[in-house]
């Protein structure tokens, strides 16, 4: 049972971490590598935090 759970969870975390890393680098975030590591810690919580911070909070700061 544990092996099945890990076989599902590990690829999801790796894909999420890689996507966040490349997205943050494409958006020219200063600490894109840190976002990638942060996204590897859990799913989907850290993905939602990344999207909220980069899409809403930082976007509003850049506009003003």
Instruction: Read off the pLDDT of residues 3-58 as tens digits, 9 standing for 90 and up.
Output: 999 999 999 999 999 999 999 999 999 999 999 999 999 889 999 999 999 988 87
DSSP-assigned letter for residue 43: S
State the pLDDT confidence band at 63, using cuts at 50, 70 and 90. Answer: confident
pLDDT attached to residue 11: 95
pLDDT attached to residue 32: 94
Question: What is the span of the domain harbouring residue 30?
Answer: 2-63
pLDDT attached to residue 43: 86
Average per-residue pLDDT for the chain: 92
The whole-angstrom separation of Cα 48 and Cα 53 is 9
Q: What kind and span of H or E run contains 41?
A: none
Dihedral sign computed on CA atoms, order 48, 54, 58, 62: negative
Q: How many structural domains compose the chain?
A: 1
């Amino acid at each position: 049972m544990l092996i099945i759970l890990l076989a599902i969870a590990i690829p999801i975390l790796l894909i999420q971490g890689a996507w966040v890393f490349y997205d943050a680098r494409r958006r020219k975030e200063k600490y894109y590598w840190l976002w990638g590591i942060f996204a590897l810690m859990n799913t989907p919580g850290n993905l939602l935090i990344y999207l909220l911070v980069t899409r809403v909070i930082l976007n509003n700061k850049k506009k003003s």
